[in-house]
Structure 1
């Protein structure tokens, strides 16, 4: 549901166009009359709400919270999935469904390596390659 809504917002709403513009070039967006600070604040608020939702889902799956290790190491997977999915890190057109495909591919690779008893460190190197 989150992916469908995010894809719709990015392609069909003024907010989505503002986010793409600000992500591509803040200065140009400001010169075009886009409220850059408000757009960035909105993105951070939505990201925080989604992080809270992810935390609730994680607690529901695991039944406990370990604040020292929750989400540890996901940064690499997230950035890699976005790049593998075709989204440029320099901004421009978002590829939300490509990012979903990148996550699926990297998770499939990780689970396959884990099922063959490959060490986690080696699996990270393979995923990075």
Structure 2
């Protein structure tokens, strides 16, 4: 079976909860992140440092969360959701049937320990 060609774009860290908790988390992770959007109880962040794979980006996010000071970690744990959203741009192969990828058990364990939910967004091919 042929595979869909894809390009890793980034991982967005999407947060939802109380505005005060989100403010506390953002303050604790700055300048390691870029705030893409922050409106009250919702925020979307990306790491300031770019990595070449979802695996390495997810590991860096989980390690950043695990290094939070106690008060910021408590705010993090109170958030309603903490989602790491992998962004992929698919290629234009029309005959492809599947998209595959993997995240190691080590990184999955770090994510679980950080209370991170995993999501993915697949963007349609760019028109030629």
More helix as a share of residues: 1
User: TM-score scaled to structure 2, two decimals?
Assistant: 0.22
User: TM-score scaled to structure 1, two decimals?
Assistant: 0.22
More strand as a share of residues: 2
